[in-house]
Structure 1
Amino acid sequence: MKQIVKNFASNASYQLFIIIFPLLTMPYVARVLGAEQLGVYNYTYSIAIYFALFVKLGADHYGNRSIAKVGKDLEKRSQLFWEIFSVQLINGLICILAYLITVGFFVQTNKTVAYIQVFLIVSYMLDINWFFYGMERFNIVLIRNVLVKISTLIFIFLLVKKPEDIGMYTLILNLGTVVGFLVTWLQLRHYIQFKKVSIKNVLSHLKPTGVLFIPIVSATIYTSFTSILLGSMSNMSNVGYYNAGSQILSMPKGIIAALGTVMLPKMAASYSDKNLKKSAEKYLDLSLLFVTFLSVAFAFGILGIGKDFIPLFYGEGFEPSVSVLMILCLYLPFYSWGNVIRTQSLIPQGNDRPFVISVLLGAIVSIIVNLLLIKPFGVIGAAIGTFASEVVLASYQIIAARHEINFKKFIQPLFFAIFSGGMMFGIIQLIPSHFSILVRLSLKVALGGLAYLLMIYLYILYSKAPVVNVLKQTLKRDKQKVN
């Protein structure tokens, strides 16, 4: 438990850094480039990302799980790495060529920015984070990412000065990631040996990675494909507004996802050992309890500060992003439960089918709702489509996991979290409007957060709910071990 908390703290700390990073860059970039040029970046990115996703297929989950299962066996680990990466390398070369041909023949506008996005595909080809996650060597990835972000920040401030610098902005973001992954390769020699691979063994990984690729590309439909639909059915400014609002959610989603990143390899190892299955079930219960409290806090907190935060963060001209943010933040509890179920139950146990089906259903719902609502409602319609898809995705995963997880014991904590979130929202609304926007926002975050934490603390202290008792017993045992 101590190691889990340590790993989560490291990943969550990085996610906090991710929160700080856009606080430093996006206000500057939004004002320098404007909504239309940001729309161009997001539109071309949304095209390139599909080619990039085909590079790794489902290697992020499959590679992570596979490396975790072989444990400390150097021979098996090395062989497995080179076989999975060979699939990634071959796919990468094919996708780079296919993307360049597609841009040359089918992209009519913004060709320069679109060509620069090829480095996004190169970065996916070099990405071996899945290996280090499977080894539970999270700090290697985190340190590299921090250095890449800092370097990117410096170059953006130095070289991006006007709307016409959108090409330079795209180049800085993508090349920084490529260099970061090259640095990661230098660390690889400490964990594996070089092994020759056979075509037969390489091809054996195509099917399992392909199965896990289906939900990944489907999930991208209601993220990147939404931008493509907005750009095609409305205009580039709407693409900028939608992505500006949704990008704010990458911060809380990243913190929630950090838990899944840490737990997936541990859960995969636990489920493969019958003696550790009870520990796996305990970790799953505690994770669901934790993300319930956390996601509800984020959802109500964003509802309370969104109107102040968007103008402060992006400046004037991004008012439509407020509505996008208000709608999207409501799916955070659904997202958090879905994330825990798939990364700590379905994927670690190799139960990929419900994961695949759930994301396919989410993608279908997203496409249908977007096609119906984007034309009459613009970015609002796109936000509703994304919300609907997340609800459907999480609901199906909950249904699929109902025999593995007793969800009834989470009803009481969930309702209390919603009650506490409502109280926090009410307190936030009491902050006088005559304060400056920065002071008002700071007071809302501080007072609202303190009120929510106090109510949750009192609930845990006095609650007799079974899952809360598990938390108390775990904390008590860990305290006794420390003493």
Structure 2
Amino acid sequence: MGRIFKNFIFNFFSQLLSIIIPLITAPYLSRVLGPDNIGIESYINAVSQIFYTIGMLGLTNYAAREIAYVRDCKAERSKVFWEMILDRVIVFSVTLAIFWIVGYNSPYRSFFIIQSVWLFAMFFDASWFFIGMELFELTVFRNFVVRMLTIISIFALIKDTDDFGLYMVLCAVSQLIGTVCIFPQLSKYINRVEFKKLNLWKHFIPSIKVFLPQFASVLYLQVDKVMLEAICNDTKQIAYYGQAEKIVKAPIALITAVSSVMMPRIANEFAKNNVDVIKKYLDFTLQGLMFMAWPVTFGMAAIAEKMIPWYLGPGYEPAVYAMMILSPIIIAIAASSLSANQYFLATNQTRIMTISYSVSACLNLIFNALLIPKFGFVGAAIGTIIAEFTVFIMQYHVMNKQIKVIRTMISCLKYAIYSAIMFVIVVIIGKKCGAVITTTLIQAIVGCLIYGILLLVTKDKLFFLIIKKIFRRRIKQ
């Protein structure tokens, strides 16, 4: 557990950085760039994510898993690494050509060209290798430096709506710098391999099995913005939905950080056929996920009304409704991060992932088509809720048949009760205060205190275990 806890801390810190930067820049950019440009950015990012996922053919998560399988043998992991890199060259060439065709026929042609730099950087980012090796600390410093440079550049160079193109360039170039910086670290862990010893085609079919659920997943996660643009033809609608979604999903990165840490470990235990160990890891992780997800879900809904006006500024008030509707996805995404990324992917059971994501994608498309014309971004938010909980229910139904997790899920409902009590008090505080930053801070502090007191009074075992771990490490230091 020592290595896992250490990796969780590193990954937690990395994810924290990815949250802090948008939290710092969002209020500034929303005011400087305006809802229309923010909507365009959300739309282009959604299209880019779809192309990235389709083009990669599942090679990212598949590659991390394959490295985890052979991480103890340098010759084997070197072979897998170079096969994956050359496979990426092939799929990127095809993807980029199609991406440019789509961008050429778009009213946002110039921004699509800029975004192709981001696409290149994403395709050749080697973070998956270090995830498979469980060497999370090697990417944390890189992420810190690159993201700090990004935030400094944004505040120094982006001054008004005319700088939107420059902002898109900064985002793309920062991703490219991060990709380039990580390659020198690879020389310690891989060797050169003769080209004739590589089998470039053996990974495509297995990776497609991983790709299918990823494609279905990104389809229902990103298609809502594409449909909003197509149906409403109003980038402000995308901005309201996209900004609310960013705020709601920000803490999800922290909550699910444990999933990235546990996947290679469970994959390695699966290769050794240690079923009991896998069950132990899953139960512990599920409890930890729900311990964090329930209070964050209720907390996000509670602070939405008073947070959006001061945080995003004038013109974004409708995002309050999107934020409140979207808050429950935190529970669904946190839970499915365990079933999909930790269990089904690690144990090579991608069929249920494909089915659940495909059903959810279809439902999302249907409900978007029915609700967006009448309700706009609110309809898209409802469609997302339906899609996320469909994934959660279907995957846990199957997983529970193989490894009983229902008792752990039921035991975690106590966190929902504690969070509901917290929610009522936080909302009451908000009703008596104005929409200013101090209100949100007071709500957040009081909410944490109430939740912590309830855990203390009920003598929650996980809460005391976390406290013990923290204090034990401080004493050792």
Normalising by the smaller structure, the TM-score range is: over 0.9
* Equivalent-residue separation in structure 1 for 2:197 and 2:249 (angstroms): 39
* Equivalent-residue separation in structure 1 for 2:201 and 2:280 (angstroms): 37
Structure-2-length-normalised TM-score:
0.94
| Counterpart residue number, 1:4 | 4
Q: Structure 2: which 5+ runs fail to align?
A: none
Letter in 1 for 2:454: M
* Equivalent-residue separation in structure 1 for 2:118 and 2:86 (angstroms): 19
* Equivalent-residue separation in structure 1 for 2:86 and 2:457 (angstroms): 53
| Counterpart residue number, 2:31 | 31
Match of 2:200, SS state, is: helix
* Equivalent-residue separation in structure 2 for 1:457 and 1:173 (angstroms): 43
| Counterpart residue number, 1:225 | 223
| Counterpart residue number, 2:258 | 259
Label 1:406 to 1:57 Cα distance change in 2 as closer, same or farther (>3 A): same
| Counterpart residue number, 1:71 | 71
* Equivalent-residue separation in structure 2 for 1:98 and 1:354 (angstroms): 30
Q: CA offsets, 1:405-463, max 9 Å, x none?
A: 323312442321111011101221232624672222111111111111222244344x7
Q: CA offsets, 1:338-360, max 9 Å, x none?
A: 11111221111111111111111
Letter in 1 for 2:34: G
* Equivalent-residue separation in structure 1 for 2:197 and 2:366 (angstroms): 41
1:395-406 map, 5 Å: 395-406=393-404
Letter in 1 for 2:386: A
Contact 1:83/1:197, CA 8 A, preserved across alignment: no
The more displaced of 315-324 and 8-17 is 8-17
* Equivalent-residue separation in structure 1 for 2:263 and 2:295 (angstroms): 24
Label 1:353 to 1:178 Cα distance change in 2 as closer, same or farther (>3 A): same
Deviation at 1:306, TM superposition (A): 1.0
Letter in 2 for 1:299: T
Label 1:460 to 1:283 Cα distance change in 2 as closer, same or farther (>3 A): farther
Match of 1:201, SS state, is: coil
* Equivalent-residue separation in structure 2 for 1:323 and 1:436 (angstroms): 15
1:301-320 map, 5 Å: 301-320=299-318
The more displaced of 412-421 and 377-386 is 412-421
| Counterpart residue number, 1:445 | 444
* Equivalent-residue separation in structure 2 for 1:398 and 1:97 (angstroms): 39
CA RMSD, Structure 1 to Structure 2 (Å): 2.3
Label 1:224 to 1:208 Cα distance change in 2 as closer, same or farther (>3 A): same
| Counterpart residue number, 1:97 | 97
Q: Structure 1: which 5+ runs fail to align?
A: none
Q: CA offsets, 1:74-122, max 9 Å, x none?
A: 1001001111121111111221122223322x21x12211221111211
* Equivalent-residue separation in structure 1 for 2:227 and 2:43 (angstroms): 9
Letter in 2 for 1:159: L
Deviation at 1:312, TM superposition (A): 2.0
The more displaced of 192-201 and 65-74 is 192-201
| Counterpart residue number, 1:366 | 364
* Equivalent-residue separation in structure 1 for 2:191 and 2:98 (angstroms): 32
* Equivalent-residue separation in structure 2 for 1:411 and 1:42 (angstroms): 35
| Counterpart residue number, 1:17 | 17
1:422-433 map, 5 Å: 422-431=420-429, 433=432
Deviation at 1:18, TM superposition (A): 2.4
The more displaced of 48-57 and 119-128 is 48-57
Letter in 2 for 1:310: I
Deviation at 1:238, TM superposition (A): 0.3
| Counterpart residue number, 1:133 | 131
| Counterpart residue number, 1:241 | 240
| Counterpart residue number, 2:110 | 112
| Counterpart residue number, 2:291 | 293
Label 1:300 to 1:324 Cα distance change in 2 as closer, same or farther (>3 A): same
Which residue of the other structure, out of 206, 209, 212, is the alignment partner of 2:210? Answer: 212
* Equivalent-residue separation in structure 2 for 1:71 and 1:460 (angstroms): 40
Contact 1:331/1:391, CA 8 A, preserved across alignment: yes
Of all paired residues, the percent bearing the same amino acid is: 27
Deviation at 1:270, TM superposition (A): 1.0
* Equivalent-residue separation in structure 2 for 1:220 and 1:435 (angstroms): 38
Deviation at 1:215, TM superposition (A): 1.6
Label 1:9 to 1:366 Cα distance change in 2 as closer, same or farther (>3 A): same
**What is the total number of aligned residue pairs between the two structures?**
472
Letter in 2 for 1:440: T
Letter in 1 for 2:29: V
* Equivalent-residue separation in structure 2 for 1:192 and 1:217 (angstroms): 30
Letter in 2 for 1:5: F
Deviation at 1:382, TM superposition (A): 0.2
The more displaced of 355-364 and 429-438 is 429-438
* Equivalent-residue separation in structure 2 for 1:57 and 1:440 (angstroms): 46
Deviation at 1:29, TM superposition (A): 0.6
Contact 2:64/2:129, CA 8 A, preserved across alignment: yes
Deviation at 1:225, TM superposition (A): 1.4
Q: CA offsets, 1:183-226, max 9 Å, x none?
A: 01111111101113449721110011111111212112122211
- Is 1:273 aligned to residue 299 of structure 2? no
* Equivalent-residue separation in structure 2 for 1:55 and 1:139 (angstroms): 28
Deviation at 1:400, TM superposition (A): 1.3
Contact 1:68/1:268, CA 8 A, preserved across alignment: yes
Runs of 4+ in 1 over 6 A off after TM superposition: none
1:75-224 map, 5 Å: 75-104=75-104, 106-107=105-106, 109-198=107-196, 201-224=199-222
* Equivalent-residue separation in structure 1 for 2:278 and 2:452 (angstroms): 27
Letter in 2 for 1:249: V
Label 1:206 to 1:199 Cα distance change in 2 as closer, same or farther (>3 A): farther
Match of 2:199, SS state, is: helix
* Equivalent-residue separation in structure 1 for 2:433 and 2:300 (angstroms): 20
Letter in 2 for 1:438: I
Q: CA offsets, 1:116-161, max 9 Å, x none?
A: 1111211122111111100111122222112111111111112211
Contact 1:59/1:130, CA 8 A, preserved across alignment: no
Contact 2:17/2:147, CA 8 A, preserved across alignment: no
Structure-1-length-normalised TM-score:
0.93
Contact 2:307/2:435, CA 8 A, preserved across alignment: no
Which residue of the other structure, out of 342, 347, 350, is the alignment partner of 2:348? Answer: 350
* Equivalent-residue separation in structure 1 for 2:387 and 2:209 (angstroms): 20
Letter in 1 for 2:458: Y
